[in-house]
Amino acid sequence: MVLAGPGSGKTSVIVERTEYMICQHGISESSILVVTFSKAAAREMKERFLARRKTERSGVTFGTFHGVFYGILKHAYHLNASNIIRPEQRNQFLKELVCSCCPDMKDEKEFLEDLAGEISLVKGNRVSLEHYYSTNCPDDAFRKIYRGYEARCRRERLLDFDDMLVQCYELFVQRPDILQGWQQKFQHILVDEFQDINQLQYDIIRMLAKPEDNLFIVGDDDQSIYHFRGARPEIMLNFKRDYPKMEQVVLDVNYRSTGTILQKASCLIGNNRKRYEKKLSTPNEGGAPVKIVAYQNPYEEAQDLCREIVQYQNEGKDLRQVAVLSRTNMEASVLVEKLMEYQIPFTIRDRLPNLYEHWIAANMMAYLSMGQGDMSRSNFLAVMNRPNRYISREAVYESAVSFESLRMFYEDKDWMCDRVDEMEIHIKRLKNMTPYAGITYIRHGIGYEEYLRDYALERKIKPEDLYEVLDRIQESSREYLTLAEWQEHIRQYTQQAAEQQQNLNEKGEGVTIATLHSSKGLEFDRVYIINVNENVIPYRKAQLDFQLEEERRLFYVGMTRARKELKLCYVYKQYDKKMKKSRFLDEIQ
């Protein structure tokens, strides 16, 4: 087991060891398997290995877990590309199942993504469905959706990403002869980024490595940040228990960061209890101090960062050496708008955040548009039962809805007519309000926040998560006096964002905007981490000790992306609410 700290050259270690095994020990190339998590990492290792060997081809297998296990299944079952489910197919299957099990959530894109993640988690950690409790919806509904999804995939002879692991495991258990064949093929196994492994991947690798157990694993328990995808750092922490004769090597020299950055990052991670103890050093000079800066609000923060970036550019420095990191991509939305305003080129590692595409934004727009007289059926259907007024879809049959026809539909139900009257009064009141004032009225006067609270309860999420989205939407409307002005801003932003996304995919130039998760494996001369506040970093969902330790590891990953300069920013206020600076800032000081 090689414990490789950040910037210690772990890819080089794998490449050089592979070459050493072949050149110095005469080990056959075709008996070596090098496995990692992403196609990009596997490709980089292969390219570096070929360059080192000064050849264009090699018998060594470099691949991802999914790629290698799919190859094994392909060999056994004669599968082809048509047997792999496409993302849009998977979403369609889930959407249809959600319509029958959770009809209130059928329009929510995030819900489908969260569901797919949960299904992946159940498979990847070999959890019994009966003992699994969903974090997204009622348990019975989740089990129904899971079983329905599995049945549909089987019926159509389709495998998803996780099935490649599940079916490979089952194949090895049921067919020892096939397992033995692959054990004889791959007699030397090297695993990169071992801290990110899940239970199923580990179980298959252990089976494949027998009987020789020629396993060489490289990773850093301090950089295990994918628990939500099923990664289990305890597998690495317990590796010696599974392999008592294991030898341990620590790569404790960081060639990337200055002494000051490394010292602060080490101070932070030292607060985690469940970890391998290591003392990192660097041959680099001490360098500039790590800056910790407070701002009044995210707008002031974004403005200041843009000014600094422009100055950096004016000094003739390369903007590709600058990164701005945030806990979630939504946290970067204010900055992204400012960068567009300043015309600073940037590359975004995650999907460009467009707050206005969120279903809550669509709901606000529907209410405000009705206030301005747009009583289209689509607007009305979107919010007629948010909060619940018990209005039936059958009552809404016209392309333009009128309250008069609704009253006629419910003429024998006085209590329903009262609800229709009340809704009409609310809509009329919105007419002369600014978008900001209108959203305040929708939240508290109409009762939309109560609806969100009930919805969150059903979805098993915190109402605060939804209130925060609503806060962001409302804040963005603050400077516009009319709905038309705000809608024009949204139209321009959406168009610009689409163009930007297209350009970025082609060029990849300018400042890098990334979440802490997607920054892993990257490095930059100058790094900013924004909104280092309690409930952001660490994230408010991190309540338990193991969750808090993962948040600390995530911040550690962000800090250690910096080579020369690191600036940590926090705000006093967000959406008129007071914010506290992160406890992590105290730990590094």
Q: Tell me how far the alpha carbon of residue 101 is from its chain's centroid.
A: 26
Burial class (CB in 10 A: 0-12, 13-18, 19+), 404: exposed
Instruction: Report the distance separating Cα 486 and Cα 483, nearest Å.
Output: 5
Looking at residue 16, what is its pLDDT?
94
pLDDT above 90 (res 141): no
Residues contacting 200, CB < 8 A, separation 6+:
123, 124, 125, 126, 162, 165, 166, 169
Residue 166 identity (one-letter amino acid): V
pLDDT digit string (tens) for 329-366?
888 888 988 898 898 988 888 777 688 888 999 999 99
Residues 18/60, Cβ–Cβ less than 8 Å: yes
pLDDT in tens, 410-444: 999 999 999 999 999 999 999 999 999 999 999 99
Q: What is the mean pLDDT of residues 516-538?
A: 94
Q: Rounded CA gap, 319 and 99, in Å?
A: 46
What's the token pair of residue 83? 């047997």
Per-residue pLDDT at 174 exceeds 80: yes
Per DSSP, the chain holds a count of helices (H) and strands (E) of 24, 14
Contact (Cβ atoms closer than 8 angstroms) between residue 369 and residue 379: yes
Q: Which two tokens stand for residue 43?
A: 């490709």
State yes or no: pLDDT of 83 exceeds 70: yes
372: which residues sit within 8 A by CB, 6+ positions away?
Answer: 430, 431, 483
CA distance 124 to 166: 8
Angle at CA of residue 61, ends 57 and 67, nearest 5°:
120
CA distances from 487 to 107, 428, 490, 494 (A): 22, 20, 5, 10
Residue 103 has pLDDT above 70, yes or no: no
Q: How far apart are CA 80 and CA 64, in angstroms?
A: 18
The pTM of the full predicted model, rounded to 2 decimals, is 0.85
Range of 392-406, 531-545, 555-569 with top mean pLDDT: 555-569
Least Cα distance to 343 among 494, 218, 227, 511 occurs for 511
Give the integer Cα–Cα distance in Å for 470 and 453.
12
Query: Which pLDDT value is given to residue 118?
Result: 87
Q: What is the pLDDT of residues 187-209, one digit of tens each?
A: 999 999 999 998 899 999 999 99
Q: What pLDDT is recorded for position 500?
A: 67
- What lies within 8 Å, CB to CB, of 3 at 6+ separation is 219, 220, 221, 248, 249, 250, 251, 276, 278
Average pLDDT, the chain: 90
Q: pLDDT-derived band of residue 311, with 50, 70 and 90 as boundaries?
A: very high
Could you tell me if 414 and 474 are in contact, meaning their C-beta atoms sit under 8 angstroms apart?
Answer: no
What is the spatial distance between Cα 155 and Cα 285, in angstroms, rounded to a whole number? 62
Q: In the chain, pLDDT over 70 holds for what percent of residues?
A: 97
How many other C-beta atoms lie within 10 A of the C-beta of residue 90?
A: 19
Q: Which residues fall within 8 angstroms of residue 445, CB to CB, at 6 or more apart?
A: 426, 429
Q: Are residues 37 and 59 in contact, defined by beta-carbon separation less than 8 angstroms?
A: no
Q: Which residue has the tokens 């298959």?
A: 204
Which range has the worst mean pLDDT, 92-96, 213-217, 301-305, 306-310?
92-96
- The answer to whether 444 touches 470, Cβ cutoff 8 Å, is no
> Which candidate, 166, 167, 183, 171, places its Cα nearest to that of 230?
166
Between 559 and 37, the higher pLDDT residue: 559
Res 106 pLDDT > 60: no
* Per-residue confidence (pLDDT) for residue 479, from 0 to 100: 87
How far apart are the C-alpha atoms of 171 and 167, rounded to whole Å? Answer: 6
Residue 104's pLDDT band (cuts 50, 70, 90): low
Asked if 488 and 297 touch (Cβ cutoff 8 Å), the reply is: no
Statement: residue 116 has pLDDT above 60: yes
* pLDDT at residue 3, as a whole number: 93
Residues in the chain: 589
**Residue 12 and residue 2: Cα distance in Å, rounded?**
12
- Count CB-CB contacts under 10 A for residue 320: 15
The reported pLDDT for the residue numbered 494 is 86
The three-point CA angle 80-29-217 to 5° equals 85
Distance of CA 570 to the CA centre of its chain: 22
Could you tell me the pLDDT band of residue 107, with boundaries at 50, 70 and 90? low
Amino acid identity, position 589: Q
Cβ pair 196, 231 in contact under 8 A: yes
From edge to edge, which strands make up the β-sheet containing 322-326? Answer: 291-295, 562-571, 524-529, 322-326, 511-515, 346-348
Confidence at 380, pLDDT banded by 50, 70, 90? very high
Residues forming beta bridges with residue 567, ordered by sequence position: 291, 528
Distance CA 360, CA 452 (A): 9
Q: What is the 3-state secondary structure (H, E, C) of 494-529?
A: HHHHHHHHHHHHHHCCCEEEEECCCCCCCCEEEEEE
- Name the burial class of residue 238, with classes exposed (0-12), middle (13-18) and buried (19+) by CB atoms within 10 angstroms of its CB: exposed
Rounded Cα gap, residues 427 and 447, in angstroms: 13
Residues of the chain above pLDDT 90, percent: 62
